[in-house]
Chains A and B, each alone.
Chain A
């Protein structure tokens, strides 16, 4: 979002525990007045000799759902990969601002980014419940999860799975479930993680109309009630208008032709 975008929420309360959770990371220059959750500056990604996007500069306020749209192959998943720190960008930088107003590069923010992968990234020969519990791995030291997860985590995972209609499949292997069930398992894993930012790559591509509304409704609730930011790749314009606050469009013909706009408002120049 351009910095001048209206309707931005007030910043979260001042960080009493900054030194506790963000030691070693520089404080944001604008301090507590800057409410932006994610700042992308001059971001560009080149694949082979082709730029997917370039000179991309925008900021995301907290608690908004941003739909990323564009035709297949334009670079939507690669953009999310850059934001997650999984794909190194060719130029520019990505900076996250945590609730304590400290700046973090993606690799230092990974346990606060929830990713719903396009191909789910689930372990096929493990149970649905165990796959979902993997969302909590970032909260524990390696030796704390050697012999399983805490009972509280298991209860949370079961509650989320029941919310998504997967209560009957808790102990079934992922490879024995359908594509839609696997997609909901991947969504449940991200929800259990309780991240600050969701990066969702086509999270409803395998779901029917009812479940699509339910999943996007849950993500919208995460944005509204928990002030989590959601970047979601969507293809259906109706869903974009129904659930998104902002739309980030990528242009297949022009890597610098991306633009971002508030839903229901005329597009602003990039």
Chain B
């Protein structure tokens, strides 16, 4: 402040240039750190988001809600037609609901008859989508549940109908969902009528391609794809989407989850199934022999 603003512009210019050089070096170093120790820096990012987003939540939600209302208002002219469509749809759904109830009862009777013991049911926590990724580098979203709600890394996220993605990065009260369409997302699935195993690998487009298809000709557009439990990350039998043919001629998947209206999602909390990774101790081969030799010396003395 002793120096006036215009008293020595050259001095300030070179000082500024030096500062910029130092900052540029530091930022480049930061990028390299991000590349080298990605997990830790990403955890830092989630921690920061966890701190920041809840504070902004009260502004994020009303704005998003208003934007959605405006988008809905555009459809007001078709309201009568939509009403009719919905009525018909409700009628159809009621028929299906009746069928589902009957099937459920039949299923329960059969299970009881056969003494089937099923895995414990999945429990879930419902979360609200708080924030978008904000840039095209990731397809992700922030939800308002976190470690405090029993959410952990890798938890599966679904909406009412289908798979949305998985949790990658958990804060105390928020978590980041990597969507199915993100380039780092790989979901093992099975195409239902044909039983073909496929890998749904995201590529940042709205319809992720299907990889590792055994017999591509066995897949038909419209076939349902559900998750297999392979790899242990996703629970089995969750609807992922339907097969469609992309504009590039590749077989792609149209997700069942409605990404345009992602307000509420369910985060599944799952106790991992018991893994049997070796023979039992009683009926296994005689593997416990090495324990025996130390005993005799004591007995000898």
Do the two shown chains form a genuine complex with each other? no
